[in-house]
Structure 1
Amino acid sequence: MPRAPRLPQEGPSIFDSLLPEPEKLAPEEAPSRTLIVEGDGGSRGNPGPAAYGALVRDAATGEVLNSEGLTLGVTTNNVAEYSALVAGLEMAHAIDPHAAVDVRLDSKLVIEQMAGRWKVKHPAMKPLFDKARRLAPAAVTWTWVPREQNKAADALVNAALDGHPRPRH
């Protein structure tokens, strides 16, 4: 005998109490500004000589407010990607600790881990993941971008690896 179609549930579920409460900002705490963090990491060999590049843009104007490209010594590409994220979040916090932040990286691994969809399994990345979590504001979005849309951060990586590092100001 055919069953009647299931109707959507109204009201709370018995499982709702198992989910963490989403962080909500009071209206007076809502960010008045959005910053864009762009980052990239790379190594020549994996592991190999590595560097990261990170920059912060004003979302309204596109103006680069700060940037950094530094070497890391010999490490993996993924550690370099996380180092770029940490540097970008530090710079964004220094510019405006109350701003919303849109993080844009070409590392699918870092974006998916930071968004909570993938687990962090490699022990060398856990401290960087934890540091990035602490630095990320409540109003953060995690956006994967194709490599072609991450050229400014990639240029900082390659400049650092070629002996032309750029410290943040």
Structure 2
Amino acid sequence: MDDSSVEPFDELLVFVDGASKGNPGESAAAFVVCDGDGNVLFEMASRIGIATNNEAEYWALLLALDFLRQWKVKRLSVFSDSELLVRQLQGTYRVRSPKLSSLHQLAKERIQGFPSFTITHIPREKNQRADSLASEILTSRVRL
């Protein structure tokens, strides 16, 4: 498919969240993609196996970045209720865990594929849809 005729999005808002039953334990990652006006365009949740909560947060971001690589977007604004994820990607916090270090590196590499990228820490109440998606798939009996 020739995507040269596809109009780029000026801005996409992406809300990411990870969840873990135990730390580490069975985990899930979710993201919600909205247009600049806040209208939901796409949402996804996936089980990711055994991980810590912080690893699940990184996986949520990585899943979103991988998915959005195919979209034409001028500005990607990501929101997370994980202060650790946000501050590590902003360079405020050091990455100490070897597992998180490799996930952090993958995230930094994928972020380079977007012309403009920001990540912002938000309260959990502002991230309810992504939080619900991650929790729902984690507690559902259906295995995909």
Residues 56-95 of structure 1 correspond to what in structure 2 (within 5 A)?
A: 56-59=33-36, 61-95=37-71
Q: SS state of the match for residue 141, structure 1?
A: strand
Whole-angstrom distance in 1 between the partners of 2:13 and 2:58: 16
| AA matched with 2:121 | W
Percent identical among aligned pairs is 34
Whole-angstrom distance in 1 between the partners of 2:15 and 2:127: 7
- Residues 56-88 of structure 1: per-residue CA shift (max 9 Å, x gap): 1111x3222222111111210000000001112
Whole-angstrom distance in 1 between the partners of 2:141 and 2:110: 27
**Bigger Rg, structure 1 or 2:** 1
Whole-angstrom distance in 2 between the partners of 1:164 and 1:149: 27
Unaligned ranges ≥5, structure 1: 1-30
Contact 1:51 / 1:157 at 8 angstroms: preserved in 2? Answer: yes
Whole-angstrom distance in 1 between the partners of 2:35 and 2:85: 22
Root-mean-square deviation over aligned CA pairs? 1.8
TM-score, structure 1 as length reference: 0.73
- Name the residue aligned to 2:85: 110
| AA matched with 1:111 | V
The structure 2 residue matched to 1:46, chosen from 20, 23, 28, is 23
Whole-angstrom distance in 2 between the partners of 1:141 and 1:70: 24
Residues 1-169 of structure 1 correspond to what in structure 2 (within 5 A)?
A: 33-59=10-36, 61-96=37-72, 98-136=73-111, 137-163=114-140
Unaligned ranges ≥5, structure 2: 1-7
Q: Number of matched residues? A: 134
